[in-house]
Amino acid sequence: MYKQQLLDRLTDKHAHIGVFGLGYVGLPLALAFAEAGYPVTGFDIDPEKVDALNHGRSYLSHIPPTRVRDTTQAGFRATADVAEAINLDAIIICVPTPLSRHREPDLSFVTGTVQDLLPHLKPGQALSLESTTYPGTTEEVLQPLLETRGLTIGDDFFLLYSPEREDPGNAQFTTRTIPKVCGGTTTACLEVGQALYSGVVDTVVPVSSTKTAEMTKLLENIYRAVNIGLVNEMKIVADKMGINIHEVIDAAATKPFGFTKFTPGPGLGGHCIPIDPYYLTWKAREHGINTHFIELSGEVNRAMPDWVVQKTADALNERGKPIKGSKILILGLAYKKNVSDSRESPAVEIIAQLKAKGAMVDYSDPHVPTFPKKRDYHFDMQSVDITPEMLSHYDCAILVTDHDEFDYETLQAQTKLLIDTRNRLPKGQNVSQA
């Protein structure tokens, strides 16, 4: 009875959708459901985000304010009141799953959200977790919590796992066009999940279990992390041999089979790639397995900021300047270009190391006007505006994040020394690759 009623409401778009966590994953998803014609409520513990959305303002640089205004005028609203979950048909959880200080999974945001929801759940609802996590989380952690409420999974309540695949700033793909993997705790749960997501996604990819869906997400991101680690290590080797790694990569990419192009950089950043491998390595140890290959790539990637700082020191030394006392400008604080997300950004670690060595460090990022609060770093810094005159005062600039907004001609013409970690700048006497 409950399943068919929910399927009918999802099919005719009368189902009320609630998205918990309105960040880089949750907000685009909430807007996509609203744009598809569903009644949608977004939930977030940050009152500034709630206020911004209800007044038609966007706080994510890749989501235009007009999109928020249009959906708000059409009925989308945000709230911090979890009690409103009683009115929902489908609950989608998109909260962070960071690592602890000991690089172990921290599910406190997920479990805290579900525990807050428990008093307000009712039969006939669906709950889908989208946060990246280790295989078994949905069945081993969430299902027991829900069953304490007296809910029977697959009968009067439907539990899913459908990993997010957002790529902020990538204009080529949207929430609708990125295929959506979905696993259900039972066959009935999967049926509900397919109906839920097919309303906003062109292609839903059903899998046999929530564990399979959880592992799929980890494989996708570990594949990237391992290959980036490989190409970063190749960059170090090529540099020692006097070979341009980017020329090598471009040449290898002409092979029409058996090679996928990955490019080196200053290190990994964002909410997925630096984090997700450790969710699997932690769970694998429970089964007596050591994931040497995955952990080695993590070591390589975590060491890349060290490499950038050393290359900067070498380039300054060639010009008779020590790092101590040098004025250094970091170009880009976000972890990738054209977005405002600085989570796990290698730029932060580079700043920390340079400051520890006595450098006077500023940063410029059109997407991150103020250095955000972080667990391990507390810098009172504001983004500086780039002008030809101000560039002349710096001994060195390090291009960490190659935002399209940067005027690269001016940067190269006016900066005494440029350390390019993204292969964005043409060769020149004042440009050093790192």
Q: What residues act catalytically?
A: 272
User: Residue 304: enclosing H or E segment and its boundaries?
Assistant: helix 304-318
Alpha helices in 132-209 (DSSP H): 137, 143-147, 187-198
Are 1 and 76 in contact by the 8 Å Cβ rule? The answer is: no
Could you tell me where the beta strands, DSSP code E, fall in 258-350?
327-331
| Exposed/middle/buried for residue 237 (C-beta within 10 Å: 0-12, 13-18, 19+) | exposed
SS3 91: strand
Residue 88 CB partners (closer than 8 Å, separation 6+): 16, 17, 18, 41, 125
Give me Rg for the CA atoms of the chain: 23
Could you tell me where the beta strands, DSSP code E, fall in 54-203?
77-79, 90-93, 125-129, 157-161, 180-184
User: Residue 362: enclosing H or E segment and its boundaries?
Assistant: strand 360-364
Q: Point out which residues pair with 43 in neighbouring strands.
A: 20, 79
| Exposed/middle/buried for residue 251 (C-beta within 10 Å: 0-12, 13-18, 19+) | exposed
SS3 332: coil
CA 255 to chain centre: 30
DSSP state at residue 85: G
CA–CA dist 329, 398 (Å, integer)? 6
* Nearest Cα residue to 161 out of 210, 196, 127: 210
Taking CB atoms within 8 Å and a gap of at least 24, the contacts of 52-57 are: 53/22, 53/27, 53/77, 53/78, 54/78
CA–CA dist 262, 287 (Å, integer)? 31
